[in-house]
């Protein structure tokens, strides 16, 4: 068993997961034009990825103790390959719904298999190593966003952009099939105890917060091309900037988490994310990039720190808890997809009714939608502020 090779395979699989988000975000306009789809319909297509994900994490979390990480990663490989091929050959709305669901299920299977395996392999340093593992979500989005931009600029169709992802999928699949995986040793592997652990108020609270953090991060990123299309900045370059900074921040997360502790990181992140989203709702031209940098700082630690918090402070939930909290995040973001699409449709229609140009209407719709999304991190400021003081008092009592 080679710990480093398994970690690398997990990172490649997570990069594929991220590339599916970035490249889908880059081709939304092309899909809408080719198949005559509204933003609301595109939102429902996006939703299938976000719904496939939690179904996979529920399935994987419940069965992880029985089938193990290797079989979960094999399921991820098969579903990624099937989803990508079905997308390439999709002939309309229904075909895109089905193929996107497969991709979402694959993405969730990666999280369900890799998160507990990484936590088990690096049990003495869970939060730091989970952040390093999750470097490859923003890292993969950077790769996917740049691929989508350059291929689109070269006049290459959306099918070829999707096909590019088959290469890293085959690479991580080969590693998974040929490597020996470890036996679970350092996390709670009783499914009964995992379920009981999930009934704690702290875990339920974190599930709710995860839905809000994921929607704040992924809801904005998935619609970046549509939201920022009229703001005077290239949407995919904005996405690459955001996620590139997120990757760097997660790689060097260790000292920050040790200094502020996970709850302090989450509290500070919510404050910065709220300011950033509000700034993006007002910015145009070069200032969009400045607001995007602030947004990256605000959301970069949300996902891995939430997973790490559950691993450290809700240890009885085991692999099921880590899978379910990730699923809650994607489920929340999934519900938001058609809502965000509908907001864009409604705001654009209202703007066009005032007689402005289509370009100006797109700008107004994007800014109004971003302003509406600010409510999510504002709720998180209150929630994580309460969590910060609760955990600090709890640690102080134990120390006394």
Domain ranges of the chain: 3-179+191-399
Query: Is 92's pLDDT higher than 60?
Result: yes
**pLDDT (average), residues 107-123:** 87
**pLDDT confidence of residue 400:** 52
| 169 pLDDT tier (thresholds 50, 70, 90) | very high
Q: Over the range 139-172, which residues count as b (16 or more CB within 10 Å of their CB) and which as e?
A: bbbbbbbbbbbebbeeeeebeebbebbeebbebb
Instruction: Write down the H helix ranges in the chain.
Output: 3-35, 39-88, 93-121, 126-133, 136-153, 158-163, 166-178, 191-197, 201-214, 220-222, 224-227, 235-251, 253-282, 287-299, 302-313, 318-353, 358-373, 375-399
**pLDDT exceeds 90 at position 9:** yes
pLDDT bucket at 79, cuts 50 / 70 / 90: very high
pLDDT greater than 70 at residue 316:
yes
Higher local confidence (pLDDT), 260 or 263? 263
CA angle 329, 297, 261 (to 5 degrees): 75
pTM equals 0.77
Please state the rounded mean pLDDT for residues 135-155: 86
Average pLDDT of the chain, as a whole number: 86
The stretch 75-102 carries a mean pLDDT of 92
Residues 172-198 have a mean pLDDT of: 85
Examine the pLDDT at 396 and tell me if it is beyond 70: no
Q: How far is CA 51 from the centre of its chain?
A: 12
Q: What is the pLDDT of residue 24?
A: 80
Q: What CA–CA distance (Å, rounded) separates 322 from 307?
A: 6
Q: Establish how many alpha carbons lie within 13 A of residue 57's alpha carbon, considering only the half-sphere containing its beta carbon.
A: 28
Let me know how long the chain is. Answer: 400
Domain 3-179+191-399: top CATH class: mainly alpha
pLDDT at 273: 95
Please check whether residue 238 is in contact with residue 285, taking contact to mean a CB–CB distance below 8 angstroms.
no
pLDDT for residue 102: 94
Q: pLDDT class for 182, splitting at 50, 70, 90? A: confident
3-state secondary structure of 357: coil
- Compute the average pLDDT of residues 206-215: 94
Dihedral, 236, 239, 244, 245 alpha carbons, nearest 10: 140
Over 80: is that where the pLDDT of 286 sits? Answer: yes
């Amino acid at each position: 068993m080679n710990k480093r090779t398994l970690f690398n395979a997990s990172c490649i699989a997570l990069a594929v997961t991220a590339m599916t988000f970035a490249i889908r975000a880059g081709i939304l306009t092309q899909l809408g034009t080719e198949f005559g789809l509204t933003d609301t319909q595109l939102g429902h297509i996006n939703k299938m990825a976000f719904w496939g994900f939690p179904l996979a994490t529920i399935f994987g979390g419940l069965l992880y103790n029985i089938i193990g990480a290797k079989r979960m990663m094999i399921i991820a490989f098969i579903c990624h390959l099937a989803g990508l091929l079905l997308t390439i050959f999709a002939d309309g709305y229904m075909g895109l719904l089905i193929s996107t669901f497969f991709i979402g299920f694959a993405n969730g299977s990666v999280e369900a298999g890799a998160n507990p395996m990484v936590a088990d392999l690096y049990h003495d340093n869970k939060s730091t190593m989970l952040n390093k593992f999750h470097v490859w979500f923003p890292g993969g989005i950077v790769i996917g966003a740049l691929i989508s931009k350059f291929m689109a600029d070269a006049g290459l169709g959306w099918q070829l952009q999707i096909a590019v992802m088959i290469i890293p999928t085959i690479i991580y699949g080969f590693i998974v099939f040929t490597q020996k995986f470890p036996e679970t040793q350092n996390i709670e592997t009783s499914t009964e105890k995992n379920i009981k652990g999930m009934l704690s108020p702290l875990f339920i609270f974190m599930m709710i917060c995860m839905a809000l953090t994921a929607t704040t991060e992924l809801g904005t990123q998935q619609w970046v091309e549509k939201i920022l299309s009229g703001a005077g900045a290239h949407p995919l370059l904005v996405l690459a900037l955001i996620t590139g900074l997120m990757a760097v921040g997660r790689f060097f997360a260790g000292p920050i988490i040790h200094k502020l502790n996970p709850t302090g990181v989450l509290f500070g992140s919510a404050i910065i994310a709220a300011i950033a989203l509000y700034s993006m709702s007002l910015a145009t031209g070069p200032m969009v990039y400045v607001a995007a940098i602030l947004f990256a700082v605000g959301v970069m630690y949300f996902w891995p720190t939430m997973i790490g918090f559950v691993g450290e402070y809700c240890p009885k939930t085991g692999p099921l808890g880590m899978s379910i909290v990730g699923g809650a995040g994607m489920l929340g973001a999934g519900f938001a997809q058609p809502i965000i699409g509908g907001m864009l449709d409604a705001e654009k229609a209202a703007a066009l009714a005032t007689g402005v140009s289509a370009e100006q209407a797109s700008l107004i719709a994007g800014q109004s939608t971003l302003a509406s999304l600010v409510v999510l991190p504002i709720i998180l400021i209150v929630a994580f502020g309460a969590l910060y003081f609760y955990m600090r008092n709890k640690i102080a009592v134990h120390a006394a």
